[in-house]
Structure 1
Amino acid sequence: MVVYRNIQNTHRPTTASLTLVLKVGTSSICDEVSHYPLLGNLSRIVETIIQLKRLGHRVVLVTSAAVGTGLRRLNMSEKPKKLASIQAIAAVGQGRLMSMYDDLFGQFNQPVAQILLTRNDLADRSQYLNAVNCLEELLDMGVVPIINENDSISVKEIKFGDNDTLSAIAAGMVKADYLFLMTDVDCLYTDNPRSNPDARPVLVCDDIEQLKHQIKVSAPGSSLGTGGMITKLVAADLATAAGVTTVIARGATPENIMPIIDPLVTDPKKIPLHTRFVAKPQPLMDRKWWILHGLHTAGTVYVESTITKDIHDGQVDNDLFAHSISKVEGNFVEHQAVNLVVEHKDSNGLIDNITIAKGIVNYSSAEIMRIMLAKQSNIIDSLGYKDANCIINRDNMAISL
C-alpha cells in the first residue's frame, strides 16, 4: 500500500531503547562545488546523535564524503575518472573525514570508531560474524560506530555500489529498529518536485514493488555522490526485508528524527514530513540475510518452473538437485553464491528471467554441467566422487522473490 495523505505516527516500536542507523550522504557533508565541509550540517548531525544517545538509543552512523573531503584537501576541482586516482583521493579524504567527526563528537566526550568495509569483508561467514560482533560490542560500550565503504581498495566486483546499500546491510547486521536515509529532500515524491508542481509526497509504503510502478525516480545523485532516490528504494527494500523500518528524511534537519521515532507524538501536524517504509512482519533470519546480501553473486543457475511455486510460497523443504536445473551461466566454484532463476513466458510469448532465490553451491559450474550432461542422479557415477548429495542444501538457500 502507498499512502499520499497525512496519517498518524504508526508502525513504530514502543520500547524505550532503539537501535538506529543514520546514513548521511555526500551532499549533506560537502559543498558540491567548493568541496568545503558543511560544518553546520555536520554539527547538527552530531548533536542529534548525542541527544539520541542521551535518550538511551544506540546509534550507528554510515557516512559518505571520503572522496569529496579528499578533493578539498588536495585542492582538486573535479573527481577524476581513473579508478586508482579516486582510490588515492579517498585514502586522503577518509582520514580528514574521521578527524572532523572525532573533533565534533569530542566536544561531548563521545568516543567514535571507524569501520571500513567492502562486500568482500562480508562474503566469508566468519568475517561477517566478526563484523557483527564488533559492531555489537562497540554499541554496548557506548561508542558510535562510523561506517564507510573502504573506497581506497574497492573495485567494482567488491563494492556495495553506494552507501545507501551499505547502510541497509549495516542495519540488518545490528538488527536495527530504524534506518534513516538522510537526503536533500524531505521525503520521497511521486516525481521531481523541483520540475513537477503536481508531485505528491509518499508518506507510508508497505509494498515497494507496487510503489516503483507509481513514481518516477531518475535522478542519479550529486556529482560527488553515487546514490540517488533509486538507490534509496533499493536500500529500503533490503532493510525492510530484515525487519528494519526505513525512513527517508531531510539531512539538513536531523533533529526531526526525534519526533519521528517518539511514540508519544500522535498529532500528524507535529510529525515532520518524511517517507516511512514499513518493516516486513516476518524478517529474514540472519543466515538467510547474509546469503542474500552479504555474498557476491558468482553465477546463475536456471531451475525448472515446476519448483517455482514451492519457492514462491516459502515451502522449500527439499534440497536442489541437478535434475531440477536446466542451465548454468558463469564460472564459479564450490561454496560460492549463485542466483536461482526461472524463465517465465508472458502472454505475448516473451521470455523473462525471474530471480527467485540465492544459494551457496556444493559444486562448481563445470561439475554441475557434467552431472547434467551425464543425466545421472548419482553424483559418484557422474563425477567419480561425491562431496555432497545435492547441488544446494535447503539451509543454504534464501528466497528473494
Structure 2
Amino acid sequence: MPYVYSVYCAYEYLFLIFRLRPSPSPSILSWQRKNRRIERRMTKAFTIVIKLGSSSLVDESTKEPKLSIMTLIVETVTNLKRMGHKVIIVSSGGIAVGLDALNIPHKPKQLSEVQAIAAVGQGRLIARWNMLFSQYGEETAQILLTRNDILRWNQYNNARNTINELLAMGVIPIVNENDTLSISEIEFGDNDTLSAITAALVGADFLFLLTDVDCLYTDNPRTNPNARPIVLVPELSEGLPGVNTSSGSGSEVGTGGMRTKLIAADLASNAGIETIVMKSDRPEYVPAIVDYIQHHFHFNPPCYAGNGTQQQFLELQDAELEQLRHHNVPLHTKFLANDNKHKLKNREFWILHGLITKGAIIIDENSYDRLLSKDKASLTPNAVIEVRDNFHELECVDLKIGKRLPSGDLDDSQPIQCVGRVRSNYTSLELAKIKGLPSERIHDVLGYSVSEYVAHRENIAFPPQF
C-alpha cells in the first residue's frame, strides 16, 4: 500500500508541474528554434555555472514553488548539455522551501530555527530538481558547502575534483550553501558569492547570475522609469560611473541583491570568467548570449580606456546596446573576464576569496614592492612592522602596508592600506617577537625556526595588478 501511495504522489506531482507550466508562447517557440540553429553552429564546449536565487524559485508571498521557471531552467540546462557544454547549477531556496513545508510565514531570526528549517527544505528542494531533470533522463548530484569545506588547499582541490568527476560522468551538480550547519564565521554570505567561488573552483568559462531584472540599470527600474540599461562592464574595479547600486535584497526569501551580484562578478572576472546578469524567467536566452559572445562580440579597449567619464561610460552602453539589437540578442549585462595575464591563478583565488582572515600583518612599502617584483620574493620577518589580532600558524591574514618610523615602529598618523593576503608560517605571538629581525635571528629569539620566511611565495596572493 505505501508503494501504491508513493506512485500516486509522483504522478500527482508531475501533473502539478505540467499544469503550472505555461504553454510555449510564440516568443519562446522562436527562441527554441533559434537555439537549435545555435546548436548546429557551436564550435567549442564551455563550462557554464548558472546561479538562481530564492526569489527566482519560490514565490515571495505564498512561499510556493515557481515550477514553471524551474522547468524552463531544466529545459535550458538539458539543451546546453546536448550542445556539448558542461553545466553546474548553484541553487538557493532551501530555507524558503522549508518555510513553505512547515507553514511558517516569516523567516525566524534565531539561528537554530533557520538551520532546522533549512534541514527540512533542502531535501525537498533537491527532490524537486531531481524530479524535473529525470523527465529528460538527466542525473543530478547535490553538493552542500561551507567555507570550512575549503579551508585547506587539499580540501579545495578535492571539491574541484569531485565536481569535475560529476561533469565527466554527465551528471549535473547542484550546489548550495549548507545552511543546516553554516554559521556566520564559515558561511559564504550569499549564493552569489558561492556561485563565483564555484565557477573559479572548476575554471568555468561563464557564470550566469539569474535575477528578477533583465540587466543592471543606472537606477532601480521599478521606481525610476528613466533608468538606463548597463549592458557592458569592461573593468568593474574601475567603477560604474552614474550607476546607483545601493539596492539590497529584492525579496524576503532572498539574501542578495544587485550589490552581491557585483561582488560575485568582480570575483569571477578576476578569475578569468565571463559573468552575465540576466532575467531568471527567460533562461532559454542563455545559449543565444553564449553564442553572441563567442561569435559576434568584440570589445575594442582603446574605445574605453577605463576611468572614463560618466558620458563615455554611457556611450559605451549605447554602442553595445545597438550591437545586441543588430544580432537580436536579449538584454543582459556582461562583466568582461580578465585576460590570462591579469587573471588570478587557482591558488591565489583560494587564498583571496576562499579563506577567512584572522588578523593582519603590516609591512612597509619597500617590502611590498619586493613582493611584487619579477623574482616574486617571499615575506621575511624584517619586512614586518606590526602584527594585529591573534592567529595560528598557516591561518590566513590580511597583508597591509604602512609607514615605518626610524625607530622601526608603525607610524599611526599615516593611513594603512590592505593589499593582499598571506598564510603565515608563524603565530601572531611568535611573529610579534621576531618582527623587524633578519631571518638568521629567528632561532635565537624563539629557540627554534619553522622557516626563514613569514610566508612562502605560494602562500601570498594579491588582487590582479593592472
Residue of structure 2 aligned with 1:140, choices 156, 159, 168: 168
Q: Which is worse superposed, 97-106 or 219-228?
A: 219-228
Q: Distance in 1 between matches of 2:354 and 2:83?
A: 32
SS at match of 2:219: coil
More strand by share: 1
Question: Aligned residue for 2:14?
Answer: none
Q: Distance in 1 between matches of 2:222 and 2:397?
A: 41
More helix by share: 2
- Is the CA contact (8 Å cut-off) linking 2:362 and 2:402 kept in structure 1? yes
Asked if 1:268 corresponds to 2:324, the answer is yes
Question: Aligned residue for 2:185?
Answer: 157
Note closer, same or farther for the CA distance 1:258–1:373 as it changes in structure 2 (3 Å cut): closer
SS at match of 2:418: strand
TM-fit CA distance, 1:220 = 1.5
Question: Aligned residue for 2:388?
Answer: 329
TM-fit CA distance, 1:245 = 0.4
Q: Distance in 2 between matches of 1:314 and 1:261?
A: 38
Quick check: which has more Rg, 1 or 2? 2
- Is the CA contact (8 Å cut-off) linking 2:439 and 2:453 kept in structure 1? no
Q: What does 1:300-315 correspond to in 2, within 5 Å?
A: 300-311=360-371, 315=374
Q: Distance in 1 between matches of 2:184 and 2:285?
A: 35
Asked if 1:220 corresponds to 2:278, the answer is no
Question: Aligned residue for 2:151?
Answer: 123
Q: What does 1:45-194 correspond to in 2, within 5 Å?
A: 45-194=73-222
Q: Which residue identity lines up with residue 55 of structure 1 in the other structure?
A: M
- Is the CA contact (8 Å cut-off) linking 2:382 and 2:437 kept in structure 1? no
Asked if 1:245 corresponds to 2:274, the answer is yes
Note closer, same or farther for the CA distance 1:352–1:271 as it changes in structure 2 (3 Å cut): farther
- Is the CA contact (8 Å cut-off) linking 1:374 and 1:382 kept in structure 2? no
Q: Distance in 2 between matches of 1:350 and 1:378?
A: 30
TM-fit CA distance, 1:210 = 2.2
SS at match of 2:132: helix
Q: Which residue identity lines up with residue 347 of structure 2 in the other structure?
A: R
Question: Aligned residue for 2:338?
Answer: 280
Percent identity reads 43
TM-fit CA distance, 1:343 = 3.7
Q: Distance in 2 between matches of 1:131 and 1:371?
A: 37
Q: Which residue identity lines up with residue 359 of structure 1 in the other structure?
A: V
Deviations 1:192-248 (A, max 9, x none): 112222322111112112234542112221211111111111111111111110000
- Is the CA contact (8 Å cut-off) linking 2:344 and 2:463 kept in structure 1? no
Q: Which residue identity lines up with residue 290 of structure 1 in the other structure?
A: W
Asked if 1:16 corresponds to 2:72, the answer is no
Question: Aligned residue for 1:342?
Answer: 401
Q: Which residue identity lines up with residue 232 of structure 1 in the other structure?
A: K
- Is the CA contact (8 Å cut-off) linking 1:358 and 1:400 kept in structure 2? no
- Is the CA contact (8 Å cut-off) linking 1:139 and 1:145 kept in structure 2? yes
SS at match of 2:89: strand
Higher RCO structure, 1 or 2 (CA under 8 Å, sep 6+): 1
Residue of structure 2 aligned with 1:299, choices 340, 359, 382: 359
Q: Distance in 2 between matches of 1:148 and 1:197?
A: 35
Could you tell me the TM-score, scaled by structure 1's length?
0.91
SS at match of 2:48: strand
- Is the CA contact (8 Å cut-off) linking 1:259 and 1:265 kept in structure 2? no
- Is the CA contact (8 Å cut-off) linking 2:380 and 2:438 kept in structure 1? no
Q: Distance in 2 between matches of 1:117 and 1:374?
A: 41
Note closer, same or farther for the CA distance 1:146–1:385 as it changes in structure 2 (3 Å cut): same
Question: Aligned residue for 1:7?
Answer: none
Q: Which is worse superposed, 84-93 or 285-294?
A: 285-294
Deviations 1:156-181 (A, max 9, x none): 01000000000000001111110000
Q: Distance in 2 between matches of 1:38 and 1:314?
A: 53
- Is the CA contact (8 Å cut-off) linking 1:120 and 1:296 kept in structure 2? no
- Is the CA contact (8 Å cut-off) linking 1:35 and 1:68 kept in structure 2? yes
Q: What does 1:190-201 correspond to in 2, within 5 Å?
A: 190-201=218-229
Q: Which is worse superposed, 111-120 or 208-217?
A: 208-217
Q: Distance in 1 between matches of 2:231 and 2:414?
A: 36
TM-fit CA distance, 1:15 = 4.5
Aligned length: 384
Q: Distance in 2 between matches of 1:184 and 1:114?
A: 25
Asked if 1:206 corresponds to 2:219, the answer is no
SS at match of 1:161: coil
| RMSD, matched Cα | 2.0
Note closer, same or farther for the CA distance 1:26–1:387 as it changes in structure 2 (3 Å cut): same
Deviations 1:260-294 (A, max 9, x none): 00135676221110000111102222111211122
Listed as ranges, the gaps of 5+ residues in structure 1 are 1-13
Q: Distance in 2 between matches of 1:136 and 1:336?
A: 27
Note closer, same or farther for the CA distance 1:396–1:15 as it changes in structure 2 (3 Å cut): farther
TM-fit CA distance, 1:191 = 1.4
TM-fit CA distance, 1:377 = 5.2
- Is the CA contact (8 Å cut-off) linking 2:90 and 2:175 kept in structure 1? yes
TM-fit CA distance, 1:84 = 0.5
